[in-house]
Amino acid sequence: MTMDRDQVLRTAAALLTRKATATMDEVARAAGIGRATLHRHFAGRDALIRALEALGLRELEAALDEAGLDEGPADEAVRRLLVRVEPAAGLLAFLITENQLFEGEVDKGWDRIDARISALFRRGQREGTFRIDLSPAWLTEALYGLIGAGAWAIQDGRVAARDFPYMIAELLLGGARRSVDT
């Protein structure tokens, strides 16, 4: 049987998001493959987590590229980003909340992504769209947190997947948007 590596990683992410302590045996069962097959591709849990990180970074960078962050008003770019990131939200939720798994060795891809998202918020501040009393770094972290919360709410059936971009955009942008009175 041929193993689709990315599908195994997505299955692992879905399982680990629900149960962070899942064993490699449980991951293999969830993916519908044998433990030996899983271990041939991922020597252990650390290798699996690193592969999940690499997949998540690729998917997030692709979402950033597809969203056209430099085009149009910054708040509309945030909305486009949320639409593009939704398919990878579960994986990103796992990676964002499980960053302690990396024990100080964080992939430099996170720095590139943080810089791109922070630049978007900084541009929105210059445009007068976003509040200037909230740092771009904080707005970036808030976005990550809302992506994670949205993914969990969808996974648990508390909200519909189609509402993901809307609910996050409204909450984030409602708090980030600069008031006319300010």
CATH number of the domain enclosing 16:
1.10.357.10
Question: Is the residue at 182 inside a domain?
Answer: no
Question: Is the residue at 54 inside a domain?
Answer: yes
> Which of the 8 DSSP states describes residue 141?
H
Q: Say what the pLDDT of residue 168 is.
A: 94
Q: Could you report the per-residue pLDDT of 155-176, keeping only the tens digit for each?
A: 889 999 899 999 999 999 988 6
Which backbone phi and psi does 130 adopt, to 5 degrees?
-110, 150
Q: Mind giving me the DSSP string for 56-100?
A: HHHHHHHHHHHHTTTSS-HHHHHHHHHHHHGGGHHHHHHHHHTGG
pLDDT at 152 over 90: no
- If pLDDT is split at 50, 70 and 90, which confidence band does 181 have? low
How far apart are the C-alpha atoms of 108 and 131, rounded to whole Å? 28
> Which of the 8 DSSP states describes residue 102?
G
Q: Could you report the per-residue pLDDT of 77-128, keeping only the tens digit for each?
A: 999 999 999 988 888 888 877 665 556 676 788 999 999 999 999 999 999 9
Q: Which domain holds residue 170?
A: 5-176
Q: What is the pTM of this model?
A: 0.84
Question: Is the residue at 181 inside a domain?
Answer: no
Question: Is the residue at 121 inside a domain?
Answer: yes
pLDDT at 29 over 90: yes
Sign of the torsion angle spanned by Cα atoms 144, 148, 151, 157: negative
> What's the structural domain count of the chain?
1
pLDDT at 17 over 80: no
Question: Is the residue at 133 inside a domain?
Answer: yes
Q: Say what the pLDDT of residue 97 is.
A: 72
Count other C-beta atoms under 10 Å from residue 105's C-beta: 7
How far apart are the C-alpha atoms of 163 and 165, rounded to whole Å? 6
In the numeric block, the tokens 């992939």 are attached to: 107
Question: Is the residue at 150 inside a domain?
Answer: yes
Question: Is the residue at 96 inside a domain?
Answer: yes
